[in-house]
Structure 1
Amino acid sequence: MCTDNPAENRTDVFIPGAWLVSPIVATMSTARPGELVRLNAHDPVTIRLPPATGNVGAEILVKEVAGQEEAIEVLASTGQQVARAGSPYVAFRLVSDGVTWIVI
Structure 2
Amino acid sequence: MSASLSVNNTARPWEFVRVNAHDPVTVRLPSAAGNAGAEVVVKEVAGEEEALEVIASTGQQIARVGGSYVTIRLICDGATWIVI
TM-score bracket, normalised by the shorter chain, equals: 0.7 to 0.9
Q: Where do 5+ consecutive residues of structure 2 fail to align?
A: none
Deviations along 1:41-65, one digit per CA (max 9) or x if unpaired, are: 4201110100111100000011000
User: Within 5 Å, which residues of 2 pair with 1:22-101?
Assistant: 22=3, 24-66=4-46, 67-68=48-49, 70-78=50-58, 82=62, 84=63, 88=65, 90-101=70-81
Q: Which has the higher relative contact order, 1 or 2, with Cα contacts under 8 A spaced 6 or more apart?
A: 2
- What is the CA RMSD across the aligned residues, in angstroms? 2.0
Which is higher, the Rg of structure 1 or of structure 2? 1
**For residues 79 and 46 of structure 1, do their structure 2 counterparts lie closer, same or farther at Cα, with a shift above 3 Å needed?**
closer
Identical counterparts, % of pairs: 60
Q: Where do 5+ consecutive residues of structure 1 fail to align?
A: 1-19
Give 1:79 shift.
7.2
Q: Which runs of 4+ in 1 moved over 2 A?
A: 79-82
3-state DSSP class of the match of 2:20? strand
| Number of equivalenced pairs | 80
Greater fraction helix: 1
TM-score (norm 2): 0.82
TM-score (norm 1): 0.68
